Chain A
């Protein structure tokens, strides 16, 4: 029963990491797209692609928070009383990001777009970083069962920092793959390209996808050494039970890197999503059966059975109602039925 609730919660984490992560990554490319003139086209594509879906993708975070505090209230309190610094910063980042994005769509003057865009893009990088450090703090067992762990070392430590950097890297990679596909799906007329003196947008994002795949892969490799030294128990889990998932992730990431520019966009998107998702699943499997590090088990932290039943019903309804609705949103988006102008 409690395991089921934990699985539902964790599926939410995976969904947020992949879907929300792709949105954060788009912000990363927005930030690094260059000056107002040079970055105009990539930013425009990011705007168009993100606008209809980012709020729905964002709800996964709320879903995770709610599942955590209802299903595992003790663990939730332990996490918030320990990791309040990165959590507080992530919360502020979320406000800046969402409002910055919404405002940029409306303002027209370049200087105003620059301010709102910078707010959106910077916080798109900062927020997943802090959320990554939170994951690292939990995974490496730095959140004590009773809460109130060290407010600094719980998230400023090798595993947490690895989590933060890896989160930013994975987000950037997934986003670049998605945006490559989007760029090909929405071709800009040649005359328009000529007028604006820009190269093929698809190629622009493809290069970035390849680059981020290489960098993220390198960080992940370095991460093995870091985890082994800093969080041996998590490391053990990752190289035993979690290993298949880590391998799948590596293979998919590598395949995406090789096939970029050759395979169909849908295949690439699938590979990128799998690569990102299996990393997170690997973490979950490695940590099982614990909610916090390797000291508080799912069963110990779980709410009374009736609460878990209520959550199960909510999850079932979500499966029946939310998933098809999300499917509708994504398919309308992919078919170009949702355009802001």
Chain B
């Protein structure tokens, strides 16, 4: 059988290497929104505080900047590990394609420099710098976050739709940097990730204050802490639905194998139903909910739209049944959560438009409280769709993942060490954030000259 053939050809390092990459990337990606988008929320609060003399907003901005400091540090080091891993786990990718694949990363390096520099100035400048210059040092952070994320996603998009290089005798001989950067998948992938980052940061932060309000802390501080991030998330969500729709149709046109996996479709056909849930085995989806003609209409607007199935993918590069199931279900999870968050955003928007107030139902706060975790799950699911959906390719049409993987060392060992270490770091991060929250709650004197002093003052 095909599956056995593919598995038999896999080097033993492939499984642990893929798991290690998936785990570390999945860990890092949760921190990305807090470097990229959380800083934007922080600046909104800072701006509002300065413009209107709003001390509550300033207090929020200051505290958010301290949370950002912790998360940025963990994000920076976990991101560094990824650059080590690109070489340690995937020398076949870096050695052969580094000349093309590396260019977006070089640009990302620039943005990361700017981000790290101004994050530091902003976070540590609260007490000694003048308020408005201090505020402006936060602006490069937000801009370089957008630029850096776009550059990294450009590299990922290039793996999905490689462009801008010529191969001769297994070597990259010519590179067109602009084509590498602005590959066909770049635009929508970058927008999709940026909006995801703003949604994750917005819903997560709003969720924290929603929990506080559910516990009876309904002061202005909590209200503002919920309103600022939720407004940003509620604006980003409908945009995300539109971009996601465009992205899916682009995948339909340019990455037929991935699209077939998303739809779990074996036979090329017209009038294809949209199948929700279920699992893929023996060339068919089992136990799914079928919506007649759904997939065809969504991808080409008419029921007669033909969708190419997995049968058209040569057997030796066809994804395994399990991979198809994972991609299919992840897509459902991503879209399902996206729709739920759209509903929450609409609920909030409607209430604000009618009454300039939050919805009165307790269920609104409950929904907001879990929206952050939901948004994180959706973002992870989205990455699973694009990464697993590309398999067995690392660079589609050029490099198989099994040829990219290293043959050196015992990766299970490295993987185990990473699992243990990251679990500890993850737990410690949550613990430290909880510690900060408790300390702030205990502080009864929030009055300050410009920004309040907070974390660490007990130390001296």
Q: Which residues of A contact B (CB under 8 A)?
A: 44, 51-53, 55-56, 58-59, 61-63, 65-67, 69-71, 73-74, 76-82, 84-85, 87-88, 90-92, 94-99, 101-103, 105-108, 116, 147-148, 151, 303-304, 306-307, 309-311, 314, 317-318, 321-322, 325-326, 328-329, 332, 336-341
Contact = CB atoms under 8 A, between A and B. Distances in A.
A94 B97 CA distance: 26
Nearest to A192: B460
Contact of A85 (B81, B175, B409): B409
Interface string B64-100: 0000011011101111110111111001101111111
B99 A303 contact: yes
Nearest to A303: B99
B105 A70 contact: yes
Contacts of B428: 99, 103, 116
Given A73-B95, A339-B128, 18 more contacts: A44-B459, A52-B120, A62-B109, A66-B108, A69-B86, A77-B91, A77-B95, A80-B88, A81-B406, A98-B74, A98-B76, A99-B74, A102-B432, A108-B459, A322-B117, A326-B113, A332-B129, A338-B128
Nearest to B84: A91
Contact of B113 (A92, A96, A148, A322): A322
Interface stretch (B201-209, B225-233, B414-422): B414-422
A205 to B, nearest CB: 19
Interface residues of B, number: 80
B297 interface: no
Nearest to A53: B120
Interface centre among A85, A101, A102, A336 (most CB of B within 10 A): A102
B440 to A, nearest CB: 12
A105 B74 CA distance: 13
Nearest to B91: A77
A286 to B, nearest CB: 25
Nearest to B125: A338
Contacts of A58: 76-77, 80, 116
Closest 10 CB pairs of A and B: A70-B102, A77-B95, A73-B98, A80-B87, A303-B99, A98-B77, A102-B73, A338-B124, A91-B84, A310-B177
Contacts of A314: 106-107, 109-110
B124 A148 contact: no
B120 A329 contact: yes
B456 A307 contact: no
A90 B108 CA distance: 22
Contacts of A101: 73
B114 interface: yes
Nearest to A102: B73
B118 to A, nearest CB: 7
* Chain B interface mostly: helix
B456 A341 contact: yes
Contacts of A76: 87, 94-95, 98
A80 B91 contact: yes
A62 B83 contact: yes
B457 A63 contact: no
Nearest to A324: B117
Contacts of B128: 336-339
Given A103-B432, A304-B172, A70 B177 contact: no
B311 interface: no
Nearest to B178: A310
Contact of B408 (A84, A107, A303): A84
Interface string B386-422: 0000000000000000000011110000100110011
A45 B308 CA distance: 64
Interface centre among B86, B92, B110, B117 (most CB of A within 10 A): B117
Given A66-B106, A328-B121, A148 B175 contact: no
Contacts, number: 246
B114 A325 contact: yes
Interface centre among B106, B172, B428, B457 (most CB of A within 10 A): B106
Given A55-B119, A91-B80, A326-B117, A339 B408 contact: no
A173 to B, nearest CB: 25
Interface in B405-460: 406-409, 414, 417-418, 421-422, 425, 428-429, 432, 435-436, 439, 453, 455-460
Contact of A108 (B118, B422, B458): B458
B91 A81 contact: yes
Nearest to B107: A314
A338 B127 CA distance: 8
Contacts of A56: 113, 116-117, 120
B54 interface: no
A307 B100 contact: yes
Given A62-B112, A65-B84, A80-B94, A102 B69 contact: yes
10 contacts: A62-B109, A63-B113, A65-B84, A66-B108, A69-B105, A85-B409, A92-B81, A102-B69, A108-B459, A322-B113
B177 A307 contact: yes
Contacts of A81: 91, 406-408
A94 B435 contact: no
A311 B103 CA distance: 7
A62 B460 CA distance: 34
Contacts of B77: 58, 94-95, 97-99
Interface centre among A61, A85, A97, A310 (most CB of B within 10 A): A310
Contact of A63 (B97, B109, B174): B109
Contacts of B406: 80-81, 84
Interface centre among B72, B98, B175, B406 (most CB of A within 10 A): B98
B174 A148 contact: no
A133 B435 CA distance: 39
Contacts of A322: 110, 113-114, 117
A321 B76 contact: no
Contacts of A90: 84
B322 interface: no
Contacts of B429: 99, 103
Nearest to B67: A106
Interface centre among A52, A61, A62, A92 (most CB of B within 10 A): A62
Nearest to A329: B117
A106 B437 CA distance: 11
A262 to B, nearest CB: 31
A338 B108 CA distance: 26
Contacts of B120: 51-53, 55-56, 329, 338
Interface centre among B81, B108, B429 (most CB of A within 10 A): B81
Interface centre among A74, A99, A103, A309 (most CB of B within 10 A): A99
A99 B112 CA distance: 18
B173 interface: yes
A65 B105 CA distance: 10
B366 interface: no
A105 B72 CA distance: 14
Interface string B346-388: 0000000000000000000000000000000000000000000
